[in-house]
Chain A
Amino acid sequence: MIKHLRSAADLDAATATLILDTAGEMAALAGREVKKLPTLRGRTVVNLFYEDSTRTRISFEAAAKRLSADVINFSAKGSSVSKGESLKDTALTLQAMGADAVVIRHPASGAPHRLAQWVDGSVVNAGDGTHEHPTQALLDAYTMRSRLGRLDGLKVAIVGDVLHSRVARSNVLLLTTLGAEITVVGPPTLIPLDLAAALSPATKVSYDLDSVLPDMDVVMMLRVQTERMQDSYFPSAREYSRRYGLDIARMRKLPEHAIVMHPGPMNRGMEITPEVADSSRSTIVEQVANGVSARMAVLYLLLGGKA
């Protein structure tokens, strides 16, 4: 088993599949009255969060607790970090406390890579800057596999601000590893020029959502921050919605079986309309539930559990 999960590229197909299978076993546990396994008793998992992210932090916390680990939440606000402590000093502190795993969310790309150089425990990337969010990709892959029964050959559109999206990067890498065919869709300003060369040569790029939808098994809508407007990535929220937002009319272009995903938090009315988000095709709430199972699987396997 790998030691750290810093990037979805750390996972080969066998390892990724093992994590998804393990997540399935963990999910079965969620249906039981006692939702707890003793596996990580006596182990310490630190949630080191430099960005506000209630849902990801709670998801990791629930995952670690269901595995009976001791959980320490270290939030950058109101801590030594706000007094100017460096990541390295924080890392050495966590090291001294004997953290077996550090789950890190950080606004700077590559912070988990730096952290891994300073701590002995496992490092799990819970989102770093505009780089990656590998456990999100795992829970997304898990959700797709649960709903559609397979990943190999699945056609997946990832739509929106790919340039700034850590979710998109991790999903392209992981889903490609698992045999899915990815098309990224968005305005050219929000798609990196070298995307396919950088991540996976088979990745397709389209600027036209309508032409892509009829072929897709999955459409994953990314959050688009309205601040991008001020930076001229697109002219207005209205124009963005019109060209790249998913509304009922567009959703009807999808095949019957296709699902709609969103990593949250959503901008309802911007990239996705409420009717679509709340429709039966939407897996958005399921993704949250699957997040706990996927993260349990990651912590379990990284910390030496056997499948």
Chain B
Amino acid sequence: MTSYLLRGVSVLGAAPADLLIRDGVISSGAPEDAEIIDADGLVALPGLVDLHTHLREPGREDAETVETGSRAAALGGYTAVFAMANTSPVADTAGVVEQVWRLGREAGLVDVQPIGAVTVGLAGKQLAELGAMATSAAGVRIFSDDGHCVADPRLMRRALEYVKAFDGIIAQHAEEPRLTEGAQMHEGEVSTRLGLTGWPAVAEEAIIARDVLLAEHVGSRLHVCHVSTAGSVEVLRQAKARGVRVTAEVTPHHLLLTDELAASYDPVYKVNPPLRTASDVHALREALIEGVIDIVATDHAPHAVEDKECEWAYARPGMVGLETALPVVLSVLGERWELIAERMSRTPARIAGLTGHGTDLKVGQPANLTLVDPSARRVVDPAELASRSRNTPYAGTTLPGRIVATFLRGEPTVLDGKAVK
């Protein structure tokens, strides 16, 4: 194993120092024969952890594969990603989650941790074999029907209870389906003007309110995916104040973009939950800083060209995000490295029970880390993305920060801003 000496690196913005990586861990001692990486002006963060990624394999390999998604993740500074279950076939059995997990190992660019479906076929009727997925080689701990809400309250209660046996967690896509039939974008002034069916904020807030009460009642852990409204933040704030074991994520795009972008009718801005208003964006930023929202998760959702190059109503919802997440968060939060490490690495690893990630860059700890050049600026060019899909809402946008290198257990997955394989 090669050793690496990161010369003059600033760990989380601290004074520059050398950091030695040997045998997969942060090491001390003499840096003999170590390969030297000039890290002058670079900031080291613990490798980012994404609790919400769509890798599309198996089923839509034309949009993304575990390998291409892993490469995009590494280039975005991630060392672990959690792959959502809405593949084809659905990741609702031990067989499928093990397949995804194995593909992740073969790609070897990030740790790919499969998320299991809560219900068979994401149909919301019957629990999937959660225990079998938990005890599989993939060791699934997070379960989600993401893309669909577990809308049946009794089924949601059972799921929350059942996974207690193996310290699992249910990640809910909070969307009351009866309130969002045919919904195309945030319900408000813009949807009225554009004649697009509205997705009311209350459809998210009502499910979160119900689920925190259910989680409280049965004493289970609940994780809320992609929180998008100011009202949801208030529901979460109250639940947390009461001691409910709830955590929540926000996506980079909900921290930056608003529903006004739909006025172009370009479906690159179509996403679920939809882009909301400027006041929602403000509330989400505050909540993330405060900790009412625990983490940033990308909801990286690659789509083939034909699924976006069409009428708004016929387009699939979703945006790619792995390669732009950290730059977007930097543009929103500024260079608050401690906070960024907390929201994008440590806390997501803790929620998932993922050991070896989100640990401090101290001697003896696994060398999962990423190096960022905060002074660099980059104009996002969809053609340059490593993801197989091009549906980024940031085309032509200048974002701060460049991911220079990423290390997974001491081995570089990205060097000089390029994936090593």
Contact = CB atoms under 8 A, between A and B. Distances in A.
**Do A and B come from the same complex?**
yes
Interface of A: 86-88, 106-111, 113-114, 128-132, 166, 169, 192-195, 197-199
24 contacts: A86-B310, A87-B310, A108-B311, A108-B312, A109-B194, A110-B196, A110-B265, A111-B265, A113-B264, A114-B311, A114-B312, A128-B195, A129-B195, A130-B195, A131-B194, A132-B195, A169-B193, A194-B188, A194-B189, A195-B192, A197-B189, A198-B189, A198-B192, A199-B192
A13 to B, nearest CB: 19
A193 B314 CA distance: 25
B365 interface: no
Given A130-B196, A131-B196, 10 more contacts: A86-B306, A106-B311, A108-B312, A114-B266, A114-B311, A129-B196, A169-B195, A193-B192, A195-B192, A198-B189
A219 to B, nearest CB: 22
B309 interface: yes
A131 B192 contact: no
Contacts of B306: 86
B190 interface: yes
A117 B192 CA distance: 23
Nearest to A162: B192
Contact of A129 (B190, B193, B313): B313
B197 interface: yes
Contacts of B311: 87, 106, 108, 110-111, 114
B196 A109 contact: yes
B304 to A, nearest CB: 12
B192 A109 contact: no
Contacts of B314: 108
Given A128-B195, A194-B192, A109 B309 contact: no
Given A86-B310, A106-B311, A198 B196 contact: no
A131 B184 CA distance: 13
B274 to A, nearest CB: 14
A99 B190 CA distance: 32
A195 B193 CA distance: 8
Contact of B312 (A86, A110, A193, A198): A110
Task: Identify which of A109, A113, A192 gathers the most chain B CB atoms within 10 Å of its CB.
Answer: A109
In the A-B complex, list the 9 residue pairs whose CB atoms are closest, starting with the nearest: A131-B195, A110-B265, A198-B192, A108-B311, A192-B192, A109-B195, A130-B195, A198-B193, A113-B265
B310 A88 contact: yes
Contacts of B188: 193-194, 198
Nearest to B306: A86
A114 B195 contact: no
Task: Identify which of B191, B195, B264 gathers the most chain A CB atoms within 10 Å of its CB.
Answer: B195
Contacts of B191: 192
A113 B196 CA distance: 13
Contacts of A197: 189, 192
A75 B196 CA distance: 24
Q: Report whether over half of chain A's contact residues are helix, strand or loop; otherwise say mixed.
A: mixed
B62 to A, nearest CB: 16
Contacts of B313: 107-110, 129
Contacts of A129: 195-196, 313
A197 B310 CA distance: 29
Contacts of B193: 169, 198-199
Contacts of A113: 264-265
A109 B190 contact: no
Contacts of B196: 109-110, 129-131
Nearest to B312: A110
Given A132-B195, A166-B195, A169-B195, A109 B189 contact: no
A87 B315 CA distance: 12
Contacts of B312: 108-110, 114
B311 to A, nearest CB: 4
B265 A88 contact: no
Contacts of A195: 192
Nearest to A9: B193
Contacts of A86: 306, 309-310
A6 B306 CA distance: 23
A141 B79 CA distance: 62
Task: Identify which of B193, B266, B309, B310 gathers the most chain A CB atoms within 10 Å of its CB.
Answer: B193
Contacts of B264: 113
A109 B265 contact: yes
Contacts of A132: 195
Nearest to B197: A130
Interface string B252-280: 00000000000011100000000000000
Interface in B185-237: 187-198
Nearest to B184: A109
Nearest to B195: A131
A204 B266 CA distance: 31
A197 B198 CA distance: 15
B132 to A, nearest CB: 39
A192 B189 CA distance: 9
Nearest to B262: A110
Interface string B153-192: 0000000000000000000000000000000100111111
Contacts of A128: 195
Nearest to A88: B309
Contacts of A198: 188-190, 192-193
Nearest to B181: A231
A194 to B, nearest CB: 4
Contacts of A192: 191-192, 198
A193 B198 CA distance: 11
Task: Identify which of A106, A114, A166 gathers the most chain B CB atoms within 10 Å of its CB.
Answer: A114
A128 B184 CA distance: 15
Nearest to B264: A113
A109 B311 CA distance: 8
Contacts of A87: 310-311
Contacts of B198: 192
Interface in B307-330: 309-314
Contacts of B310: 86-88, 114
B189 A110 contact: no
A10 B310 CA distance: 22
A192 B190 CA distance: 11
Nearest to A199: B193
A194 B201 CA distance: 14
A278 B189 CA distance: 37
A106 B195 CA distance: 13
A199 B306 CA distance: 32
Contact of B265 (A114, A193, A194, A199): A114
